[in-house]
Structure 1
Amino acid sequence: MSKPLTLRTKLMAAFGAMLALMLLMAALAWRNADAAHGGFAHFVKDDTRRMALANDVLDAANARAIGARNLVLAASPADRDTEVRAVDAAQQKLDKTLAELQRMVAGDGTADEKRLLDAMLSVEAGYVTVAKDIVAKARAGQRDEAITRMNAECKPKLAALLAAANAFLEDAMKVAHASVDAAEKDFQANTRMLLAALAVAAVAATVMGVWITRDIMGALGAEPQALGDAALRVAQGDLSPVRGGASARPGSVLASLGRMQQALAQVVGSVRNTSDSIATGSAQIATGNADLSQRTEEQASSLQLTASTMEELTTIVRQNADTAQQANQLASAATLAAEEGGEVVGRVVATMDGIAQASRKIA
């Protein structure tokens, strides 16, 4: 039989699950943010940059055309030199812009972008030859020939170049709008995903919160403040029944506190009964001690009387001994006197016998 999960294990499991949900939501948010960042970076670095370059192509082409026109119309050599420098600057900008466009489209450009760029480069290749010839004629003072070729060839090629650049710009704008739409769709999808994850996390947190709360309250049996108050009352000697202890879940802190109160009450009752018994026994012992003390005093009096009697008896015995000694002395004297008297009597008897014999002789 498996052991029930401890409160610590349950709390760690609940918080671990919440941490896992938080990490999952953080991972989803990071993935969405990374995708949004990638889309935004692509929009800024690629889509917007392509549109900017297409506009630069248009600006440079127009600036070059205006410079060529002004060069043809310039009256002084100084004005022609100024316009030549303007045409050269516009041409350098145009070449640089087209080169950057070629690098970008060659990397991750779509088929339409490559096709439109090729068309624009093809038109530019034809245009630049005519433009350079017009500039050369204008610088050489061949104004009429330059104007004739400008009207005959340069304008149509310029119109074709601008049309190709506008077509590329429109395609770039279409791609940019598609990127924005895709980003919007991704944002909505990611938002729904995050909301779903948030709903799951909220439900899981609610379920785990209710479960943990019920489990903890079941394990405690009451609020911690109520348990503290009950324990304090017991500690202060109040052994009245703990409120709710009898109906608390077995094994809970409140139930254990109730059993502890009952056990303490029983122990105190037993101690009180034992104390009463000890008090009764002590009273009996005290009474016995009093009786024993009285008997001891009586015995002491008897012993004292006996001692007095023994002293008197000793005195009497001593007197009797003295009397006996005196009697013995008297007896000895009497014996001696008797012996002496016997001798006297013997002599008397002898004398009487002598007298008697003498008398008989006389007779």
Structure 2
Amino acid sequence: MSFLFRLRIGARMVLAFGFIVALMLVVLAAVLLQIGRVERLSAELVEAQAERLSLAQEWYQNIAVNSQRALAIGLSSDDVLEQVFGDKMKSVTARTSEIVKRYTELETTDEGRRGIEAMSQVRLRYLDQRKALLAARGDAARVAAEGAAFQKVTAEYIEQARQVLAYQQQRQREIGAGVQAASEALRWTAVVVSLLASVAAVVMGWTLSRGITGPLAALQATARRIAAGDLAENIALQPGEVETVQLGNEIVRMQQSLRALVGQVHEVAESIEVASSEVAAGNADLSARTESTASSLEETSSTMQSLTGTVRQTAESARSANELARSAGTVAGDGGTVVRDLVRSMEAIHRSSRRVAEIIGTITLAQRSAQAAREIKALIDDSVREVELGTRSVGDAGRSMDEIVAAVQRVGEVVDGISATTAEQSEGIVGVNAAIVQIEQSTQQNAALVEQSTAAAASLREQARRLTSLVGGFRLD
């Protein structure tokens, strides 16, 4: 019956119910067969046999009655009696002939037909002897002789009728016993076939149940192991179209998918735990650094405030220096103008001295005067040389003054640039100070966020540990 296990459950159910229906049909056929037999026997008992028995009894009674009537007529000389008994006897004889004809039609057994044959022959002799008896009426000697012969044949006729009646009675009892036996057989047939059908149904049901509950129990055990976290068992896929096989294959695929998924989740949980630990450590370090940065920003903010004040003072000093440089430039410009005028005057004096020296030289050449003239000339020459030196010095001073004026102008320009730059720096430092204050506030907020992130990372690490612990409950190998 292993082929049943290869069938789908629907096919098994159809086969099982078909088998049960077939058994029921077999039981029905057997019962109907026995019922037909009982009906035939009952019909024979109720109809044919009952009629045969009734005919045999009536025939027997007719023999007894008519034989007595024939003797009475034969032994009596009363014409009225002869007339009454004679009509009745003729009527009974006619009825007996009908009984013989009907009885012969109804009799089906060989023994019964032999009984009818024998009884018909005795009846012919009986009727002949009865005629002889009736014909001897009035003759006492013949009546006595024919009466004795008639009684003898009547006794034989009655005995034969009794045997036929006994046979029909026996047959009645046999048919009744047959009906009872058929009924009993029907009962036992129904019981036995029902028991066989029940046993077959139980066997079929047990086989069907074992073919279904056995694989389902195995699948249930596998599902319990999977529910308990045991994914290590390797279950091979089975070929076949049976629902339990297909269900088992789906459970195998589910186990394989769960094993792969749990393995990936386990790896991810470990990675999350490691990453959360690193994030927690990094957040702790970042928190410390953020707090240090916040402290440094507080100091930097204080320093920037001081620097802002210093830069403002520097800007004020630069503006003052710019004004002084402008004043110095103006004074240097005026000094340069005076020096240029002095240079022009010295140049004029130098030209005049050179002219005086030429004139004196001319005088000296012309007169070739005395020693005084030579001394004057010497003094004038010295004066010319000094004037030349003074002129050169004044020229150098003029050039120096020009350079000083230019330098003072450049200093003024630089101081203007410094003043403008210092003003811009002052404004920039004010902005930087505001930015630092904002950064300080942001840093403090970041420090709070870092603390929250640290707490979240610690919670994530704890959750990752719990996830790892939960996933660790699954056995993968």
TM-score bracket, normalised by the shorter chain, equals 0.5 to 0.7
* 2:400 alignment partner in structure 1: none
* 1:280 alignment partner in structure 2: 274
Deviation of residue 285 (structure 1)?
0.8
* 2:313 alignment partner in structure 1: 319
Matches of 1:330 and 1:40, distance apart in 2: 159
* 2:162 alignment partner in structure 1: 166
Q: Aligned pairs, how many? A: 333
* 1:38 alignment partner in structure 2: 40
Alignment of 1:214-225 (within 5 A): 215=211, 218-220=214-216
Change (3 A) 1:166 1:345: closer
Deviation of residue 115 (structure 1)?
2.6
**Greater relative contact order structure (CA < 8 Å, 6+ sep):** 2
Change (3 A) 1:273 1:147: farther
Deviates more, 1:16-25 or 1:194-203: 194-203
One-letter identity of the residue aligned with 2:60: L
- Identify unmatched segments of 5+ residues in structure 1: 135-142
Change (3 A) 1:162 1:328: same
Task: State the Cα deviation string for residues 46-97 of structure 1 (Å, max 9, x = none).
Answer: 334323321222223333455677788799x9xx79x949974x87567556
Alignment of 1:148-187 (within 5 A): 152=146, 155=151, 158-159=154-155, 161-172=157-168
* 2:61 alignment partner in structure 1: 59
Deviation of residue 288 (structure 1)?
0.8
Contact 1:106 1:114 in 2 (8 A): no
Change (3 A) 1:289 1:121: farther
Deviation of residue 168 (structure 1)?
3.5
Matches of 2:104 and 2:236, distance apart in 1: 75
* 2:366 alignment partner in structure 1: none
Deviation of residue 320 (structure 1)?
2.9
Match of 2:286 among 282, 287, 292: 292
Deviation of residue 310 (structure 1)?
4.6
Deviation of residue 296 (structure 1)?
3.2
Deviation of residue 145 (structure 1)?
8.1
Contact 2:4 2:12 in 1 (8 A): no
Change (3 A) 1:92 1:249: farther
Matches of 1:96 and 1:116, distance apart in 2: 19
Change (3 A) 1:343 1:279: closer
* 2:25 alignment partner in structure 1: 23
TM-score normalised to the size of structure 1? 0.57
Deviation of residue 33 (structure 1)?
3.6
Task: State the Cα deviation string for residues 121-169 of structure 1 (Å, max 9, x = none).
Answer: 64676688789x89xxxxxxxx968998698466567546535533543
Change (3 A) 1:3 1:183: closer
Matches of 2:231 and 2:323, distance apart in 1: 100
Contact 1:60 1:93 in 2 (8 A): yes
Change (3 A) 1:342 1:45: closer
Change (3 A) 1:250 1:56: farther
Matches of 1:57 and 1:149, distance apart in 2: 26
Matches of 2:131 and 2:236, distance apart in 1: 99
Alignment of 1:140-289 (within 5 A): 152=146, 155=151, 158-159=154-155, 161-172=157-168, 215=211, 218-220=214-216, 235=227, 238-239=228-229, 271=265, 274-289=268-283
Larger Cα Rg: Structure 1 or Structure 2? 2
Change (3 A) 1:23 1:350: closer
Matches of 2:86 and 2:269, distance apart in 1: 122
Change (3 A) 1:342 1:206: closer
RMSD after superposition: 6.2
- Identify unmatched segments of 5+ residues in structure 2: 239-243, 357-477
Q: Percent identity?
A: 26
Say which SS state the counterpart of residue 106 (structure 1) adopts.
helix
* 1:333 alignment partner in structure 2: 327
Matches of 1:340 and 1:100, distance apart in 2: 191
* 2:241 alignment partner in structure 1: none
TM-score normalised to the size of structure 2? 0.47
Deviates more, 1:179-188 or 1:325-334: 179-188
Matches of 1:310 and 1:261, distance apart in 2: 67
Matches of 2:19 and 2:166, distance apart in 1: 51
Deviates more, 1:274-283 or 1:332-341: 332-341
One-letter identity of the residue aligned with 1:280: V
Change (3 A) 1:84 1:271: farther
